[in-house]
Chains A and B, each alone.
Chain A
Amino acid sequence: MTTTPSRPAVEIRDLHKSFGSLKVLKGIDFEVGQGEVVCVIGPSGSGKSTLLRCVDLLEEPTAGKIWVNGVEMTDPDVEIDAARRGIGMVFQSFNLFPHLTVLNNLTIAQRRVLRRSRAEAERVARVNLERVGLTDKADAFPAQLSGGQQQRAAIARSLSMEPKLMLFDEPTSALDPELVGDVLTVMRKLAEDGMTMMVVTHEMAFARDVADRVVFMDGGVVVEQGSPQEVLGAPKHERTRAFLSRVLDPTHVAQLGQPDQSPEPPQATGLPADDRHNL
């Protein structure tokens, strides 16, 4: 995977993040190699979305350092707009621009940020719409698309900026079950094309089949990480086992025989799910 001698795509050193008195990340050390696909799993409130958002500096870390492609994101003088150009972000709620057509969703940043001509931007946009199988939706507005189509358009929008790293924040969690497959197929294709990816997900099948490495987080720390076979197949830690049995066999949680534990994944009260409103 990390065949190049250059620095890893993402380096995180002793990352801490608090929202007020609530400590969400408690010292994360973490790397993503060039071309590597890393899936981050864990219960709600474990800090995995916050970790992902820190990489793109959508959340300001309380302490610690982050480098992306050799650029220190946590440097107070970082040219953040330039640094973010190399990073694509896909959100749980798609966040397509509803007032623009799909094509313009894909071209607006190319034109405003990369200063590409309209013709060039549209050419790149159409190439990427083809990659996600939406060539016929170029002139539609986001509201006219299904959730799965919207998410694929959002992926194509990120790809149009030709990022070196793609971040996915629970990209299929807001989708109807029958639409999840289309999005995951697009992501798998992206991984096969060699894209460096960091994916926060609940899709264990995707993690098992596509990830080079799976990271399990709980309570703001990385509990364990390794190949999908190791983490998903033979987890070493009790917390990983408990989480996996809940996710993979949700109707038999009671059989764990731990009466003091709630059948729901532990949810930190006061922390909004997926931290989306804390910027």
Chain B
Amino acid sequence: MKLRRRQRERLSLGLQYLVFIAIIAAVLFAADWDRLKDAFFRVDIIKSMFPTIITVALRNTILYTLGAFAFGLVFGTILALMKLSRVAPYRWVATAYIELFRGLPALLVLFLVGYGIPIAFPEREIPGGVFGSIAIGLGLTAAAYMAETIRAGIQAVPKGQMEAARTLGMSHFTAMRTIVIPQAFRIVIPPLTNELILLTKDSSLAYVLGVTAQTIEITKFGRDMLNDRVNATPLLVAGLAYLIITLPLSQVVRRLELRYAKAR
């Protein structure tokens, strides 16, 4: 019998669902749930992680992330402007910086900032202690990525915007600051959000600086608990703790984009 087009489509879709459900069912039935639960979901261990994981670890993760993001945003904007500058040496420096720091592992940069700067300037301290070191150490790498994003955003603002601002008597700097850059940032909200979420997870590199009980963040906290209790439950909880940050963040950004949609 020859099937009609809609019948063929329905049959094809039905088969796809069937395969999908079969795979999930196979995994669910084949898994040894009791052993899994014992290794990853011990309620007593979960209880013992609270409230420290929230009041200390989650808080520090957020602080480190925001610090690195703020540093990266400011420095990245400067780099972006340098890269678009009419002054050739500015462009060379910015390009060299971006190429270098995009290529270096964030871990290495963080290590160099955390241990190199104190050796180079023994009398001085990085302001903010561990927080400052992480903000700068991760921010230096983040700035290199953000610079390229922001540069693209600035270039996406139509030329006429700068011209209109200049014909009203604004200096290049004022026009950039009040007209072009605000529009550029609206354009680059989605990629900057990506960067913020990546930084959230990169903040786990803080362990190379030797964090204490007060400066511990989510991943290190989870790993310490893992070693302490010889059980993987803390890792699962730590992983879920990151979602507490990233999921609302996505919502906030979606709202932000909607709000800006009419002013575009």
Contact with B along A87-104 (1 / 0, CB 8 A): 111010101111110000
Residues of A within 8 A of B159 (CB): 276-277, 279
Contact for B168 among A58, A82, A161, CB less than 8 A: A161
Contact for A95 among B164, B169, B186, B262, CB less than 8 A: B164
Contact with A along B157-177 (1 / 0, CB 8 A): 011111111111111001000
Residues of A within 8 A of B171 (CB): 81
Contact with A along B197-241 (1 / 0, CB 8 A): 000000000000000000000000000000000000000000000
Check A109/B165 contact, CB under 8 A, given A98-B183, A99-B182: yes
- Can you list 5 pairs linking A and B with CB atoms under 8 Å apart? A84-B168, A98-B264, A109-B168, A112-B178, A158-B168
Give how many A residues have a beta carbon under 8 Å from the other chain's beta carbons: 32
Q: Taking the complex as formed, is B263 at the interface, i.e. its CB lies under 8 A from any CB of chain A?
A: yes
Interface residue ranges, B against A (CB under 8 Å):
158-171, 174, 178-179, 182-183, 186, 260, 262-264
Once the chains are docked, how many angstroms separate the CA of A87 from the CA of B160?
A: 16
Contact for B170 among A56, A87, A109, CB less than 8 A: A109
* Contact status A279-B163, CB under 8 Å: yes
* Contact status A113-B182, CB under 8 Å: no
Q: Taking the complex as formed, is A16 at the interface, i.e. its CB lies under 8 A from any CB of chain B?
A: no
Contacting residues of chain A (127-177) with chain B, CB-CB under 8 angstroms: 141, 143-144, 154, 157-158, 161
Check A58/B178 contact, CB under 8 A, given A113-B168, A143-B263, A158-B168: no
Q: Which residue of chain B is the closest to A109 with respect to CB atoms?
A: B168
Q: Which residue of chain A is the closest to B167 with respect to CB atoms?
A: A89
Distance from B146 Cβ to chain A, minimum over Cβ atoms (Å): 20
Contact for B174 among A85, A87, A112, A143, CB less than 8 A: A112
Q: Which residue of chain B is the closest to A142 with respect to CB atoms?
A: B263
Q: Taking the complex as formed, is A221 at the interface, i.e. its CB lies under 8 A from any CB of chain B?
A: no
Q: Taking the complex as formed, is A108 at the interface, i.e. its CB lies under 8 A from any CB of chain B?
A: yes
Q: Which residue of chain A is the closest to B186 with respect to CB atoms?
A: A99
Q: Considering the complex of A and B, which 8 residue pairs feature the smallest CB-CB distances, nearest first?
A: A109-B168, A95-B164, A85-B169, A89-B167, A95-B160, A113-B169, A141-B263, A84-B169
Once the chains are docked, how many angstroms separate the CA of A97 from the CA of B167?
A: 13
Once the chains are docked, how many angstroms separate the CA of A154 from the CA of B164?
A: 9
Once the chains are docked, how many angstroms separate the CA of A157 from the CA of B186?
A: 23
